């Protein structure tokens, strides 16, 4: 089972069902929903990194085009992605 959901879809469902209405309380609920950290499918990310690594082996990381390029081995990026998973 996948726990990835759309915040917008949840908000729309709650509005359509009448649980959230346009008032202060409703806006506070929407704000709380929007504060939920973004989740991602670790297995899909790893799969994409493995596919990328077959051809390149390195990922180019840049924050700003004016900065120097940094290259990170795909194996290291995979470790970072797997380490970012928090068990609930």
Tokens (6 digits) for 49: 């990194």
Query: Which pLDDT does position 81 carry in this prediction?
Result: 75
At 46-83, the pLDDT tens digits run: 777 777 766 666 656 566 655 555 667 777 777 777 77
Tokens (6 digits) for 88: 């609930």
Name the residue with higher pLDDT: 82 or 33.
Answer: 33
Torsion, Cα of 6, 9, 14, 17 (10° steps): -150
Tell me if the pTM is above 0.85: no
Confidence band of 26 (pLDDT split at 50, 70, 90): very high
CB neighbour burial string for 43-77, b if at least 16 within 10 angstroms, e if fewer:
eeeeeebeeebeeeeeeeeeeeeeeeeeeeebeeb
Nearest to 12 by CA among 38, 35, 33, 43: 33
Confidence band of 87 (pLDDT split at 50, 70, 90): very low
Q: What are the extents of the domains in the chain?
A: 1-39, 42-83
Return the number of other C-beta atoms located less than 10 Å from residue 24's C-beta. Answer: 7
């Amino acid at each position: 089972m996948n726990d990835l959901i759309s915040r917008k879809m949840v908000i729309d469902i709650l509005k359509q069902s009448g649980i959230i209405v346009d008032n202060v309380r409703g806006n506070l609920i929407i704000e709380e929903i929007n504060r939920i950290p973004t989740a991602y499918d670790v297995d899909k990310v790893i799969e994409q990194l493995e596919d990328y690594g077959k051809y390149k082996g390195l990922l180019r990381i840049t924050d700003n085009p004016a900065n120097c390029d940094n290259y990170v081995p795909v194996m290291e990026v995979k470790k970072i992605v797997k380490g970012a998973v928090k068990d609930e």
